[in-house]
Amino acid sequence: MKKLLYLMLGLTLVATGIVGIFLPLLPTTIFFILAAGCFAKSNPRLENWILTHPKIGPSVIQWQQHKVIPLRAKFFAFTGITFGYLMFLRISHPTLLLAIAVALMMSAIALYVGSRPSKPIES
């Protein structure tokens, strides 16, 4: 039963990642990273498909082995965070307290992304 849940979650994450390829502000790689984790617990063949995929695999492997977020991905993350926050402000007209709370949360995410190495550290 647990394997089936991981398999279904993995397939859902892959589908979301594929949608992210076509929607500019929806991230892609994170969904494939999470899907690979689910498939590692449910279907090694699908995990291998992600890891050996010529476009997806290298980013997933870099994350798994070195916790690396490439500069290009950081740029898109920061752009998406900024755009998302500006849209939040424009559409929802939040109270000052909520605007500050969301800004702090998004800043924490941006700090985490920015703190990850952009390439593997040479040992």
Name the pTM for this structure.
0.79
Same domain (yes/no): 95, 52: no
67: left (phi over 0), alpha (psi -120 to 50) or beta: left
Same domain (yes/no): 7, 53: yes
**Spatial distance between the Cα atoms of 103 and 109, rounded to a whole number of angstroms:** 10
Same domain (yes/no): 12, 59: yes
State the total domains in the chain. 2
Residue 25: inside a domain: yes
Same domain (yes/no): 9, 48: yes
pLDDT digits (tens, 9 = 90+) for 35-51: 999 999 999 999 999 99
pLDDT digits (tens, 9 = 90+) for 93-114: 999 999 999 999 999 999 999 9
**Spatial distance between the Cα atoms of 65 and 44, rounded to a whole number of angstroms:** 17
**Spatial distance between the Cα atoms of 23 and 28, rounded to a whole number of angstroms:** 9
Same domain (yes/no): 88, 51: no
Phi, psi of 47 (to 5 degrees): -60, -45
Same domain (yes/no): 78, 53: no
